A and B are shown apart, each in its own frame.
Chain A
Amino acid sequence: RKEVEQDPGPFNVPEGATVAFNCTYSNSASQSFFWYRQDCRKEPKLLMSVYSSGNEDGRFTAQLNRASQYISLLIRDSKLSDSATYLCVVNRHTGNQFYFGTGTSLTVIP
């Protein structure tokens, strides 16, 4: 079983829509969680860390459910510039190894 699993999509949504991505992780020892975005032919860039109590950064909200071992990302009022691949990442502090999902593709349509 993969460490991190994501629905690859693609998600095609109109501008202004709200879209949510989920990600599940297999190892309950995972301790840190992140969402990255990756634009076509670019490197991944940190979007936000995910905290146990959930956190918000502008139009983006991240939540963690440790009991069910999943992480979510909610994007409100989608912009054309949100079109990218969103990567779910978990870190197991023992060994400090990062595990990446394969990414969820989002296209925001005018």
Chain B
Amino acid sequence: GAGVSQSPSNKVTEKGKDVELRCDPISGHTALYWYRQSLGQGLEFLIYFQGNSAPDKSGLPSDRFSAERTGGSVSTLTIQRTQQEDSAVYLCASSAVEGRRPQHFGDGTRLSIL
């Protein structure tokens, strides 16, 4: 079946603008995660959604970052008033909680703030 889909693939925007990144998880996967990865660095956890439970927002770096997941499927990550340090690849992953299955990643959104 289809994998995790993210859009856009690339986003270039000016400092101070808001951006919205989208993630469409694998059908049936109830867990959805957002990470970001700066060049040459490891994965940085941002936020985690599980079913109808309250999301784990512990990784969001500031209140400029927010995410929602509507209908238990598609998720959007919003960054308000972007800063140059927000430039990174934003990766979304989903997993089927049952049986503690591994995560599967989308291709990511490469965000560049000018």
Contact A96 B95 (CB under 8 A): yes
Residue A58 CB within 8 A of the other chain = no
Number of interface residues of B (CB under 8 A): 22
Interface-lining segment among A18-26, A69-77, A99-107: A99-107
Pick from A34, A95, A97, A100: contact of B43, CB under 8 Å: A100
- With A43-B91, A43-B108, A103-B42 already in contact, the answer to whether A98 and B103 are too (CB < 8 A) is yes
Write the nearest CB–CB distance from B52 to chain A, whole angstroms.
Answer: 14
Write the nearest CB–CB distance from A97 to chain B, whole angstroms.
Answer: 7
Give the chain B neighbours of A97 by CB distance below 8 A.
45, 48, 56
Interface of B is mostly: strand
- CB 8 Å contact bits of B40-56 with A (1 = contact, 0 = none): 01110100101000001
B-facing residues in A53-110 (Cβ within 8 Å): 87, 89, 91, 93, 95-98, 100-103
- With A43-B91, A103-B42 already in contact, the answer to whether A98 and B33 are too (CB < 8 A) is yes
Give the chain A neighbours of B93 by CB distance below 8 A.
98
Question: From B43, which residue of chain A is reached at the shortest CB distance?
Answer: A100
**Alpha-carbon distance between A96 and B95 when the two chains are bound, in angstroms:** 10
**Alpha-carbon distance between A45 and B103 when the two chains are bound, in angstroms:** 9
Pick from B41, B43, B56: contact of A44, CB under 8 Å: B43
Contact A49 B56 (CB under 8 A): no
Write the nearest CB–CB distance from A18 to chain B, whole angstroms.
Answer: 25
Contact A45 B102 (CB under 8 A): no
Residue A27 CB within 8 A of the other chain = no
Q: Which residues of B contact A (CB under 8 A)?
A: 31, 33, 41-43, 45, 48, 50, 56, 89, 91, 93, 95, 97, 100, 102-108
A-B contact pairs, 26 of them (CB 8 A): A32-B100, A34-B102, A41-B89, A42-B107, A43-B91, A43-B105, A43-B107, A43-B108, A44-B43, A44-B91, A45-B105, A46-B103, A46-B104, A87-B42, A89-B102, A96-B50, A96-B95, A96-B100, A97-B48, A98-B33, A98-B103, A100-B42, A100-B43, A102-B41, A102-B42, A103-B42
